[in-house]
Structure 1
Amino acid sequence: MFGIETLEGPVGAAVLIGIVLLEAIVLYVGYGALEQLLGPRIARLLRGD
């Protein structure tokens, strides 16, 4: 889709590692924001408040 499969050797490995790290950062930030928004509400529902 992005043409990553055409890269070879160390350059391909570096690009792949960069993409995986970027994905991890996006997921970390996204799940953190989701937890901030929904965490207290879900905790109250589980406690029965």
Structure 2
Amino acid sequence: MAGLEIPTWDPETALLIGTILLEAIVLYVGYGGLERLFGPYLMKFLVGGDADAR
């Protein structure tokens, strides 16, 4: 039957996909942490007011 075959995975391809996913997670968490640490200070510097007043 067409479309019901189980694809075979190349270990190299699986490693590449895993590496890309891990990199995306690390960047997401890293940039989130940086935004939490430096976001209010950067907004205060750029805008000149309180970043929390919305």
Question: Structure 2 length as normaliser, TM-score?
Answer: 0.69
Which SS does the other structure have where 1:31 is aligned? helix
Question: Which residues of 2 match residues 1-49 of structure 1 at below 5 A?
Answer: 10-49=10-49
Q: Secondary structure at the match of 2:11?
A: helix
CA distance, structure 2, for counterparts of residue 14 and residue 34 of structure 1: 30
Report the residue type matching 2:45 in the other structure.
L
Number of equivalences: 41
Higher helix share: 1
For structure 1, the residue ranges without an aligned partner over 5 or more in a row are 1-8
One-letter code of the match for 1:44? K
Offset of residue 26 of structure 1: 0.4
Q: Match of 1:19, as an amino acid?
A: T
Instruction: Report the 3-state secondary structure (helix = DSSP H, G, I; strand = E; otherwise coil) of the residue aligned with 1:43.
Output: helix
- After TM superposition, the runs of 4+ consecutive aligned structure 1 residues lying more than 2 A away are none
- Alpha-carbon offset, residue 48 of structure 1: 1.8
Over alpha carbons, which structure has the higher Rg?
2
